[in-house]
Amino acid sequence: MNVIHKTRQATDDLSVYGVEVGSRLLLGTSQYPSPAILNAAVQASGTSVVTVSLRREAARGGAQGFFEMVQSWGVRILPNTAGCRSPKEAITTAQMARELFDTTWVKLEVIANDDTLQPDLFGLVEAAAELSSQGFDVFPYTTEDLGAAERLMAAGCQVLMPWGAPIGTGKGLANPYALRTMRNYFPGVPLVVDAGMGAPSHAAYAMELGYDAVLLNTAVAKAGDPVRMAEAFGSAVRAGRSAFVSGLMEPREMAEPSTPVAGTPFFDLTT
Amino acid sequence: MDGIRQRETEPDPGLVVLSVNGERRETGSSTLEEMVRELGYGDARIATAVNGEFVAAGARAACRLQAGDRVEIVAPRQGG
């Protein structure tokens, strides 16, 4: 039996910053072939939290239409600070996002490296502390590093979002051992695997490990049929969650018949 | 060499030279609020920063622009 699931509440609602989140699939809104497909994919996924961003306003009109579409979904909005390379940039971006989207939630990204898009953990902790002090509810995009995780929590974070694999790679869980360790180390903290998902099985695996939710974008947006893939990820997340709550069997080294041995025909104890 | 020619041209003393979203711009606006309207954003859903510091919508009218200021004007966009 898994130790963690015994500590869970009897109900299976995910609560983050005092908000009950219906679906454990958090979905990004970028890179879809068209607004219509994005709209249909969000509906098909069953998500209750979508990530958005803000960018320089080059052409008026499109951005406002996008915002109206997001509002029509009736889901929670989680603005990101994607592309920010310093705590200062991330903090200012978060402040602009709070005004634009009218939410204290922010997916905090402080990026350290262009090739891996890995988090700058030092800048992340610094920005998280400042934003928390300003009343933000910070969702930090981090790694599996336990020391950084503890610093983030001390900075005020009530949820942690370790990467599965680098953003956009679709490689799934690159380090399941470290993710399992993190899960066991923080049994009561909402943990979300963010980034790197490529297939629904990756998301199901994260949920089977006991993660509270997964956040992904590219795997759905770049699928041949994004709408159907959104549905597939929604199913996978629910399946993985049910599996974790149910308690997975322990693997065994040797085969053991599943059909009863007693009463097997043609089996004679006298010979 | 447009750049050199531009540098040799005396800027209009009534205009302030600054950057908006990374691009050089001359403006007659004296405040951020005026500039946002000058650019046609009106009541559009945007957020602003000057020189890396957030400027709330309600503070734009009091935010005086100076030569060399770096103005950012952002809007909602798809994100992951």
pTM as predicted: 0.91
Q: How far is B22 from chain A (nearest CA, A)?
A: 9
The pLDDT value recorded for residue A168 is 94
Q: Phi then psi for B79, rounded to 5 degrees?
A: -155, 160
The model's pLDDT over B20-39, given as tens digits with 9 standing for 90+, comes to 999 999 999 999 999 999 99
Cβ-Cβ contacts under 8 Å, B22 against chain A:
56
With tokens 């007659």, the residue in question is: B28
In the numeric block, which tokens belong to residue B3?
């750049």
What residues of A act catalytically? Answer: 107
State yes or no: pLDDT of B2 exceeds 50: no
Instruction: Report the pLDDT value the prediction gives residue A63, as an integer from 0 to 100.
Output: 78
What's residue A13's pLDDT? 82
More reliable by pLDDT, A82 or B42: A82
B20 and chain A: CB distance < 8 Å anywhere? Answer: no
Do the chains contact at A30 and B52, CB–CB below 8 Å? no
Is the distance from CB of A66 to CB of A30 less than 8 angstroms? no
A81 to chain B, closest Cα gap in Å: 9
Residue found by looking up tokens 């981090």 in the block: A142
- Residue whose C-alpha is closest to residue B48's, from B40, B56, B59: B56
Residues 6+ apart with CB under 8 A from A50: A26, A27, A28, A29, A42, A70, A73, A75, A76, A77, A78
Q: Count CB-CB contacts under 10 A for residue A6.
A: 9
pLDDT value at residue B1: 40
Q: How far apart are CA A76 and CA A72, in angstroms?
A: 11
> Which residues of chain A, if any, have pLDDT below 50?
1-3, 5-9
Q: How confident is the model at residue B3 (pLDDT cuts 50, 70, 90)?
A: very low
Please tell me which of the candidates A53, A58, A60 has its beta carbon nearest to residue B79: A53
φ/ψ (deg, to 5) at A76: -75, 145
